Amino acid sequence: MKTRHILFIFLGVLTLGWAWDAWVLNPMPGDAIWVVRKQGIYLTGVWAMGLMSLIMVLATRPAWLESALGGMDRVYRLHKWAGILAISIGIVHWLMEIGGGMLRSLVGAAVNKPPKVAVLDILQTSHGLAKDVGEWAIYALIVSLVITLWKAFPYRSWRLLHRVMPLLYLILVFHAVALTPAAWWLQPLGLMLGLLMLAGSLSAIPALRHRIGRKRRYAGTIESVRPLEGGITEVNCTLEAGWPGHRAGQFAFVTFDPREGAHPYTIASAHRGTRLSFQIKALGDYTRTLAHSLKAGQPVTVEGPYGRFDHRHGAAAQVWVAGGIGITPFLAWLESLQHQPDAAPNVQLHYCVRDAARDPFVARLRMLCATLSHVALHVYDASHGQRLDAQALRQASQGQSDEPLDVWFCGPAGLARHLEDGLARLGLKDATVHREAFEMR
């Protein structure tokens, strides 16, 4: 299920709870425009707190959700877009709250303004403080949203600021509980919101204590570090006993420097006991330093494995598409098939590179594919004007299967959109595209 569909269903359920209260259980008296404003404040508040609670639960990296959502990469994509939506709705909520004076100047003083709604007795005296801290929290969330969307902002600084989010969430829980109508708590909407905020608050505790993923962390040692062409650093590690092993195509959160924290990298090797290989592209300030800062013998912490990018769940005939460093899960797949070549599906593997002559993976791909008769490799060299498009995918796969195209993709989002749009224009709307949603920020 796509992220937007999950968010639509989630908000739809909250909206039904609000509507039942607003129209059936507790219809609000007063002039229509003021009732609409008040109910709008309630609805946007319910949406924002519901989404913020969802964000906190997803931030704990719940492995049990991987099967339902299709992998931890999709869990994080849902986390990201729920966060963007929550803050955007929170801004609307805040503007509606402070816009009462402006509305009064436009339509005049309320003749029949909705009455003040009673809140929990124990929090009556906290009404003013709850409003103030809610306003301060929305300022902090706006800053957080800008920094998250501004990709040029350094990851380490963004990560440190992101650590404040659980505290901001708990402040917003206080804001919501102190201002929520007391009558809600024993009604469907209050029960839903209460359960969500309880789950979010319990999730905030390990986040504040930096214990997320602790049970899936394994210590190890760097075996070797090798700089490759194209700004790629190959890092081979050996983990201590206890590593459960991984399926080809999975990824892990890797910590080389505790001050920097964990970064997600695809495991670029098949299961080899406690030995793992990572191919890390220099895409930011930190990853550009790894070739020089990492040394054999250094400690490393690996958390995982995570992910559901697994060709074994696909059709008998498949199309694999990789762009740049997106080749890493396919390298692991090909390596895992070396000892059981007959288990390989019929595959057309398309690899897009800037310069094939200098690419560090082309030679290895050719060697791995040479032993797999069911896998055909196609390399597209941008330096020679070669570009992959949907027509090339279809032509390469013609006669391979009568079933709709089963495409497995890992690479730049722009290339994925280009291919998906092209397949739709060719009338191949029934093509299945499995995408690694590997964008955690």
> Are 111 and 152 in a shared domain?
yes
The answer to whether residue 102 is domain-embedded is yes
The pLDDT, as a whole number, for residue 436 is 81
Task: Please indicate, yes or no, if residue 22 is contained in any of the structural domains.
Answer: yes
Eight-class DSSP state of 96: H
| Strand arrangement, sheet containing 432-435 | 375-381, 346-353, 317-323, 406-410, 432-435
H-helix segments, 277-425: 290-293, 328-336, 362-370, 390-397, 413-425
- Same domain assignment for residues 132 and 181: yes
Q: State whether 60 and 153 are in the same domain.
A: yes
Domain end among 272, 306, 340? 306
Res 191: pLDDT: 94
The confidence score (pLDDT) of residue 301 equals 97
Let me know whether 106 and 177 are in one domain.
yes
* Residue 357: domain span: 311-435
As a whole number of angstroms, the distance between CA 121 and CA 12 comes to 30
CA distance 386 to 380: 5
Q: What is the pLDDT of residue 249?
A: 93
Shared domain for 62 and 144, answered yes or no, is: yes
Burial class (CB in 10 A: 0-12, 13-18, 19+), 130: buried
- pLDDT for the residue numbered 438: 66
DSSP code at position 248: T
440 within some domain? no
The length of the chain, given as a count of residues: 441
| Domain identity same for 324 and 298 | no
The answer to the question of residue 197 being in a domain is yes
298: in domain:
yes
pTM: 0.88
Q: Are residues 267 and 352 in the same domain?
A: no
Residue 130 in any domain: the answer is: yes
CATH number of the domain at 227, please. 2.40.30.10
How does pLDDT run along the chain (441 residues), one tens digit per residue? Answer: 788 899 999 999 999 999 998 888 888 887 788 889 889 999 999 999 999 999 999 999 998 888 888 889 899 999 999 999 999 999 999 999 888 777 777 776 656 677 677 777 677 778 788 888 988 999 998 888 888 888 777 777 777 778 889 999 999 999 999 988 888 888 999 999 999 999 999 999 999 988 899 999 999 999 999 999 989 999 999 998 889 999 999 999 999 998 888 899 999 999 989 999 999 998 877 888 999 999 999 999 999 999 999 888 888 889 999 999 999 999 999 999 998 888 888 999 999 999 999 999 999 999 999 999 999 999 999 999 999 999 998 888 876 666 788 999 999 888 999 999 998 888 877 888 888 876 656
| pLDDT value for 234 | 96
Residue 359 lies in a domain: yes
Are residue 178 and residue 290 in the same domain, yes or no? no
Q: Are residues 29 and 161 in the same domain?
A: yes
Per-residue model confidence (pLDDT) at position 320: 95
State whether 286 and 397 are in the same domain: no
User: How many domains does the chain contain in total?
Assistant: 3
Q: Is residue 300 part of a domain?
A: yes
Question: Which residues make Cβ contacts (< 8 Å) with residue 107, sequence separation at least 6?
Answer: 33
Residues 293 and 175 occupy one common structural domain: no
Where is the domain boundary, 281, 306, 331?
A: 306
Q: Are residues 334 and 411 in the same domain?
A: yes
Supply the CATH number for residue 49's domain: 1.20.120
Choose the final residue of a domain: 185, 208, 231. 208
Ordered alpha helix ranges (H), 113-226: 127-149, 155-162, 165-179, 188-208
CATH number, position 396: 3.40.50.80
- Per-residue model confidence (pLDDT) at position 400: 67
